[in-house]
Amino acid sequence: MKAHDVKRLVAYYVKKYNTRNPFELASYLGVEVQTGQLGESSGFYMFLKNHKCIFLNEDLEEHERTLVMAHELAHSIMHRKENCYFIRNRTLMLTSKIEIEANTFAAELLIPDGIIMENPGLTRAQIACLAGYDERIMEFKK
C-alpha cells in the first residue's frame, strides 16, 4: 500500500469514528487489547481463532504505549492475518513493507497535518517532540 493510500485509510477511520486515539479505534473495530509483561517486545498483533488481538508491554510509558498501539492497530487493519511484533528500538528502523506501512499509519494517526501547519517554523524533529513522540516517527509522515 502506498503512503498516500495509508494516509487516506487513516483519514477514513478518523472521520468515521471521530477520534485519533488508537485505543478507542481498536474498541470500535472489535480489536481485543491486553497489557502484560512482554520482555523485550513492546507489543505485538496476533490473529487468533478469528479474533484480532493486540498485546502491549505494561512497562511502556504512555506516549510509547500509544505509538506501539497505533502501530499494532495498523497491522490489525492492513495485515489482518499476519502476526507482527514491535521490538523496542528496532521496529521504527525496519524496512519490510508491512512494518513501513504500520509505521506510516501510526505517524499519520498520531501526528495530524494540522500540528505541522500550525507550527511552520519547527523542524520535523521538533514537531515529533511537540506531539510527544520519537523523532524517527516523522520519517513516515507524508
Cell of 86: 514491535
Give residue-wise pLDDT tens across range 43-57: 899 888 889 999 999
pLDDT band with cut points at 50, 70 and 90 for residue 41: confident
pLDDT score at 128: 93
Per-residue pLDDT, 80: 77
Section 69-77 average pLDDT: 95
Residue 55 CA to residue 50 CA, distance in Å, equals 16
Is the CA virtual torsion 121, 127, 129, 135 positive or negative?
negative
Q: How confident is the model at residue 30 (pLDDT cuts 50, 70, 90)?
A: very high
**To which residue does cell 517554523 refer?**
121
Q: What pLDDT, on a 0 to 100 scale, did the predictor assign at position 110?
A: 97
Average pLDDT over residues 23-38: 96
DSSP per residue, 13-48: HHHHHT---HHHHHHHTT-EEEEE--TTEEEEEEEE
Q: What is the pTM of this model?
A: 0.88
pLDDT of residue 117: 94
The predicted structure's pLDDT at residue 95: 61
Alpha carbon distance 138, 136 (integer Å): 5
Mean pLDDT value across the chain:
88
pLDDT in tens, 95-106: 678 888 999 999
